[in-house]
Structure 1
Amino acid sequence: MEVVDQIYNLRHNFIVIGLTGRTGSGCTTVADILKTENIQKLKSNYKEINSGIIDNNVRKNRIVHNFICKNWKPFTIIRASDVIFYYAFLKDFDIFVKCLEGTDIIPKEESKICPETISDISFKKLLDPVKDDYNTIRKIVVECENFLNNKNYEDVFEKEDVLEKIEQYRKLILHDIAEFRKNLDEILAKTVKKVIAKELQKWGNNIRKYNSITVEKMIDKKSPSCLAHKINQFIKMFRVSDKIKDKPTLIVIDALRNPYEILYFRERYSAFYTISVNTEEKIRQQKLFEKGYRLSEVQAIDEAEKGKHDFQDSYQLIDIDKCIELSDIHLTHNGIEISKNRDLINQIFTYVSLILHPGLIPPSPIERMMQIAFTAKLNSGCLSRQVGAAVTNQFYSVQAIGWNTVAEGQTPCSLRNLYDLCEQEDANAYSTYEKNDKKFSDYISVLVNAYNSNKALENLKGETLSYCFKDIYTTTTVQ
């Protein structure tokens, strides 16, 4: 048993889970379940062994229940929206108010005067009650930022000093910012700006590109992973504190909304898992209306989350569909409150158990088939979306597998080189349209010249300069 415990010890000491899903799908509900301290409060589909018909599902749930009761530890929730607000606190109060109004803060030479629903004076005066709290938190945020940027903070401070500072900053990230936002929401509820989801989306997009909630002159060198990088700094800081206190570091990020944030953590931690939370559209919208969102706000949020962007901007913007596609685990949320939602809790218990102890129970037939479909999609040469499928009979015996690909005789995008198209090499790999349409060809030339001008081709280090025809075609036809 000691040998087995040692094998799985790393998973028990460090796990990072990134939640993703459309706004209102239930990511926060899942996060609330994962942070529960008293596991006995949560009711799963567990049944006593002699309480009814016994089948393999009952046996699996029993194994999971027994395991989770002995090994459950609450997760710490880092909310991405609070991290976005952390960036907001790096700005002066006046700039924060301006950003909150929805007016873009851009370089003076590009600025435009925009009509506003509420005058500067009245809106600023309305926020006066939170000004002192803002400045108090801002002071701690600036200190925390300096602390995080000191890569040797473990060596600079004594163990007690490090622990004291980290606990102060932990409280800032997990409590103080959320409490400020709650008070702010109460004030904004008295205005036409009831919720600020749109502003948070805009700030998040700016952070991914400029490492700031405002538009800056220079793109940050960590783009498009600036937000993920900041979250990772918090994770590392918490891990230092937990090691001093001899505690495991179990983190949930609520929620990741850009595919490159998922890839950022996946490349860094073998113990990182992305969980997508999915619910019916009618349930999702109803939940948003109950939270005070207006129909126009829900529609604006949905439009931003579609992920149908100009490919040049896609690195920094929200793309929920792609995040769901990249997820390791998919949960179904039926909208029922936690205390009665045995199915959702059972799903969470099962997957947390398998993260802690891989192989604890075998997959269900549907999970087994989905794994085959997932593997099949890797055959696809499509750059925008890879899709796999497994066809079975009623007994889940595989009859066929398939994946999306180009028509017979054509070359998939992953094998085509943008540079070859520009130089008219490997002509058979490209369509007549790609080779002869002037607008399309001119745009390709602009792209290749841009790569040549900043030596990007050299930085590819032998990789193919593949491109998605659909993305470029959409860009050239919309312009």
Structure 2
Amino acid sequence: MAEQKFISELFLENNQFILVGLTGRTGSGCTTTANILESKEVCFPELNSLNNFYDGLDIRRYSIVRKFAEEHWENFYSIKVSDLISIYLLLLPTSKLDNFIHFCGINVTKKASTYLVKNGVLSKSLLKTKYINVIKQLLDHNAEIDFTDQKIQRSFIRILQLVRKFTRDLKQELNNLESGLYVSVYQSAGKSIRRIGKVDADYKIKDFIPSSVFHLPETINRVIKFIRKVKNGRAYIVIDAIRNPYEAKFFKDRYAAFHLVSINAPDEHRTRYLQKLHKFSAEQIKKIDDEESGKGESEYKHLTNPNVKKCIEISDIHLFNPKNEYDNNNVLKAQIAWYIALMQHPGLITPTSMERVMQVAYTVKLNSGCISRQVGAVVTDDDNSIKSVGWNDVAKGQIPCAMRSIDGLINDFQTETYSHYERNNENFRTKAGEFYERFKPVIQELNSFKGRNISYCFKDIHNSIDNKSNQVHTRALHAEENAFLQLVKYGGTGIVGGKLYTTASPCELCAKKAYQLGISEVIFIDPYPGITQDHIINIGTMSPKLVQFRGAIGKAYHRLYEQVIPIKDELDYMLK
């Protein structure tokens, strides 16, 4: 019995508390995933229901995790970010709510609040005296909430139930006012909260309050603490859905048990789903995608705007969600069984070959000296045997951008570090000097910048001279390109029929090179491949297949697949 207790305690942390944050583009399946996790009973699919989604040893791996997941399943409590944004909206005076809805719409002609009251959406039941204090305390992060108080617990649970219904009704009625208005209202509300800590139609012209970036995740965190208190510490919680990378970082920094999970659906499936079920036009879908990829215009857009593209990039686990059959979630359920079982019991199975190779690409990307984005790539044969690796960086013998500095460019004139063009072109040096002058007071005033190497991007400065966005002037080779060149540089076997793994997605130039080399599959993480698929890949008779990566990556790879103790020892202790 003592040995069994010892084993139980070793795995106790995993079994006691799991926190999952979902991210993904609108229509990819975050809400579907949250609903599955919320279910008290889940029937995980048999292998014959997965249309050969798993093959080889992955068939045995799935059989093991499926059995474990069914035996140890506990439903998650779902915190929907949209529900919490609803609370911010509910606390607005009617006139301000009207202004905000009209600000978000294009052709909203009716008075929004009158319409919503008439249709029973703006019910005041949430704002009754017994609820209002708890609601205000939730958003006031300086207020202490006594979650041990039974009355507050009952009120809190009732509030969350009422808000869930309110969000559902509001979504329908906003879209009745104008197609797609719900998405616009909640996206803008999120940006407003991150900028000024509340919802306001004039948020774009108000001064940015830096602490507001974490206002929404801190509200979510207060709900998490409440749930853990009510559940006596044992709780499985899913956040649906995280749209901003700084919000993801907030939870990564606070909870060892946190996993950011991206849900990725093929473009054509997701588009068809949004058009058929939500009646979105192609223009509306493009607008949503632009907003979610961080392209929205704002002075502090990298902090306040949604950036699902970046969230997917930093995700711990990537799930593939084919949506070609609307009610068929078997593939998604199978992956949920896989990773929830590993969260509960790390090391239950070994990684897939796809995970193993992508983990190498993920690791080698850290060698990159690019100051914009680090990318890793691996070339394998058709059996996933690694033949070369690469990362985006300057040619061997040159100094990486991260190791050069703007003050060195202006003052040092080192011939091995800075090019003849950088040292002598008058227009370039004028632009570089302007960048340097802007940074000097920042370096002097902020302690966090003291002693820092202030790097600069040659391409950005060069492009600013003639106001063009030209990718030709980058100093670095792409990761995929570098991996290809290693095969030539050091020799090796042919890779016709082999695979290319990349932590991003291949640009048109690298896709053409993969095509020419006879690569059969390009496995990528970033689901924003531009025109690569439509223009380069889907043509000809020997085109590579683009495959969305699925699996655990980075720290999660080790956290999920590294055994707490060797399986043999675990079984021995249990038998004793």
CA 1:61/1:384 → structure 2, altered by over 3 Å: closer, same or farther? Answer: same
The alpha-carbon deviation at position 394 of structure 1 amounts to 2.6
CA 240–418 in structure 1, closer or farther in 2 if over 3 Å, else same: farther
Per the alignment, residue 243 of structure 2 pairs with 257
- Give the match's secondary structure for 1:318: coil
**Retained in 1: the 8 A contact 2:290–2:296?**
no
- Which residue matches 1:112? none
Query: Any unmatched runs of 5+ in structure 1?
Result: 48-52, 105-115
The residue that corresponds to 1:335 in the other structure is 323
CA separation of 1:123 and 1:364: change in aligned 2, threshold 3 A: closer
The alpha-carbon deviation at position 69 of structure 1 amounts to: 1.6
- Indicate yes or no: 2:266 matched with 1:280: yes
Q: Which residue of 2 aligns with 1:72?
A: 73
Q: Are residues 137 and 44 of structure 1, via their aligned partners in 2, closer, same or farther at CA, if it must alter by over 3 Å? A: farther
Q: Is 1:356 aligned to 2:344, yes or no?
A: yes
Q: Distance in 2 between matches of 1:411 and 1:312?
A: 31
Offset of 1:177 from its aligned partner? 1.9
TM-superposed CA distance for 1:170, in Å, is 3.6
CA deviation after TM superposition for structure 1 residue 428, in Å: 5.3
Retained in 1: the 8 A contact 2:65–2:338?
Answer: yes
Q: Count matched residues.
A: 450
- Is 1:153 the counterpart of 2:145? The answer is yes
1:26 equivalent in structure 2: 29
Question: Please, what TM-score do these two structures have when normalized by structure 2?
Answer: 0.70
Per-residue deviation, 1:227? 2.0
Determine if the alignment matches structure 1 residue 199 to structure 2 residue 181: no
Instruction: Indicate the percent of aligned positions where both proteins have the same amino acid.
Output: 31
CA distance in 2, matches of 1:166, 1:364: 43
Give the AA of the match of 2:248: I
Residue identity opposite 2:183 in structure 1: A
Shift of 1:301: 0.5
Distance 1:118 1:352, change over 3 A: closer
1:302 paired residue number: 289
Deviations 1:234-279 (A, max 9, x none): 2122222221xxx622111111111111211111111111111111
Match of 2:7 among 4, 7, 29: 4
**2:117 and 2:123 in contact (8 A); partners too:** no
Within the candidate set 145, 149, 172, 2:159 is matched to: 172
1:45 maps to which of 44, 47, 70: 47
User: Which amino acid in the other structure matches residue 297 of structure 1?
Assistant: Q
Pick the aligned partner of 2:362 from 374, 378, 387.
374
What is the Cα deviation at residue 322 of structure 1?
Answer: 1.4
Summarize the Cα distance change of 1:240–1:417 in structure 2 as closer, same or farther, 3 Å threshold.
farther
Per the TM alignment, residue 333 of structure 1 is displaced from its structure 2 partner at its CA by 0.5
Is the contact between residue 86 and residue 141 of structure 1 (CA under 8 Å) also seen in structure 2? no
3-state secondary structure, aligned to 1:237: helix
How many Å separate the matches in 1 of 2:398 and 2:119? Answer: 61
CA distance in 1, matches of 2:30, 2:301: 25
1:320 alignment counterpart: 308
User: Which residue does 2:213 correspond to in 1?
Assistant: 224
- TM-score scaled to structure 1, two decimals? 0.83
Matches within 5 A, 1:438-477: 440-441=431-432, 443-445=434-436, 447-449=438-440, 451-452=442-443, 455-456=445-446, 458-460=447-449, 462-469=451-458, 477=467
Structure 2 counterpart of 1:143, from 134, 148, 156? 134
CA distance in structure 2 between the aligned counterparts of 1:128 and 1:475, rounded to whole angstroms = 51
- Structure 2 residue 110 is matched with structure 1 residue 128: no
Which secondary structure does the structure 2 equivalent of 1:315 belong to? Answer: helix
Q: CA deviation at 1:424?
A: 5.6
Larger mean CA deviation between 283-292 and 139-148 belongs to 139-148
Change (3 A) 1:178 1:450: farther
Contact 1:21 1:278 in 2 (8 A): yes
8 Å contact kept, 2:366–2:374? yes
Contact 1:331 1:344 in 2 (8 A): yes
Q: 1:86 to 1:447 in 2, by over 3 A?
A: farther
Output the CA distance in 2 between the equivalents of 1:209 and 1:392.
45
CA apart distance, 1:165: 1.3
- Tell me the CA shift for residue 81 of structure 1: 1.8
Question: Does structure 1 retain, via aligned residues, the 8 Å contact 2:368–2:392?
Answer: yes
Match of 1:233 in 2: 222
Q: Deviations over 1:46-100 (max 9, x none)?
A: 89xxxxx996333222211221122111111111222222222232122112111
The answer to whether the 8 A contact 1:224-1:316 is kept is: yes
Contact between 2:443 and 2:449, CA under 8 Å: does it hold in 1? no
Q: CA RMSD in A?
A: 3.2
Distance 1:42 1:63, change over 3 A: closer
Cα deviation, residue 212, structure 1 = 1.5
Which among 17, 40, 59 is matched to residue 20 of structure 2? 17
Higher relative contact order (CA 8 A, sep 6+): 1
